[in-house]
Amino acid sequence: MDQGSPHKDGMACWICGSTRSRLVKASSPDLTLQASDLAITDSNYGRTGEIRQCLDCTFLQVSEISNPLSLYEDLEDPSYDEGRGYRSLQCQKLLEVIRKYKSRGRLLDIGAGTGIMLEEAAKLGFVGCGVEPSQWLSQKASERGLQVFQGTYPHKDITGAFDVVTLVNVLEHVTDPVGLLRAMSKAMADDGIGFVVTPDVSSFARKLLRWRWWHFRVAHIGYFDKRPLTLALDKAGLQLVAFGRPGWYFSASYLVDRLNQYLPTWIHLPSFAALRRLIIPLNLKDSLYVIFRRKA
């Protein structure tokens, strides 16, 4: 992923360029960063940097961060790969959406993790490669015979045009979302499509849980809903084709663990080994996906 430039006080909105903003959330106390804080499976909900809202396009962004790229490079997340079974089901469902618009060809996955999307896409006949900043995650993908380059996109070893470019739960991690969308556009074939999934900050779940929403995490530095996401696509020279809300799959043990984050200690739910084998589909409609093409 392209981490862009660090955001400093007084810096313009990453989407529309406006310098008019308001403080909506103070930084969490004693906020220091290490690689483990950026884990995909991090459960420290509500722990964030200072968040400001653009008064023109409504985009929410962390106002004071240092560039976390070196931390992403050092990130290890064994719990993520342990959930490969149910994460594969998630990717299968996302690919069902993608195949309505493009059923074959070359696929590029940006922020590929351990290559789960690529693995499932290959079963459907796509020829894929990916890029991932974490050395540990990209190595895990390579051990499975998947072509995932360590680094960020654009990447010197990734060339040519792709029929599908995917960006799943990555856009909320970068300081230059429009620039990353432009890079996606350049990677797409003339008739190619792009596919982005990101949390929806205007969802009912977020309104209900307020700052304890599970997507308010230190690794997330930009928060979208339809308005700024559509604007970002437009500024990147991309044409919206479709919106939707993806569903997810989780093991029952994972859901019990996450639910306990919201419950008092004295009523924590027990977790059993058998729950790891029980997979539960869940769609709380608090994420968005967009399909897009380059503008004519």
Report the alpha-carbon distance of residue 229 to residue 202 in Å, rounded: 12
- Long-range contacts, stretch 126-134, CB < 8 angstroms, 24+ apart: 126/164, 129/158, 131/1, 131/155, 131/158, 133/1, 133/69, 133/72, 133/73, 133/75, 134/72, 134/73, 134/74, 134/75, 134/76, 134/77
pLDDT of residue 67: 65
Q: Is 83 inside any structural domain?
A: yes
Q: Is 270 inside any structural domain?
A: no
- Cβ(92)–Cβ(120) below 8 Å: yes
pLDDT of residue 10: 61
pLDDT of residue 9: 47
pLDDT of residue 253: 82
Name the residue range of residue 79's domain: 21-246+288-294
Positions in the chain short of pLDDT 50: 1-9
Q: Is 14 inside any structural domain?
A: no
Q: Is 271 inside any structural domain?
A: no
Here the CATH number for the domain that contains residue 96 is 3.40.50.150
Q: Is 252 inside any structural domain?
A: no
Q: Is 254 inside any structural domain?
A: no
pLDDT of residue 66: 61
Number of domains in the chain: 1
Q: Is 5 inside any structural domain?
A: no
Which phi and psi (to 5°) does residue 30 adopt?
50, 45
pLDDT tens-place string over residues 260-270: 888 788 788 77
Single-letter residue type at 157: D
Q: Is 141 inside any structural domain?
A: yes
pTM for the structure as a whole: 0.92
Q: What angle do CA 282, 213, 79 make, to 5 degrees?
A: 60
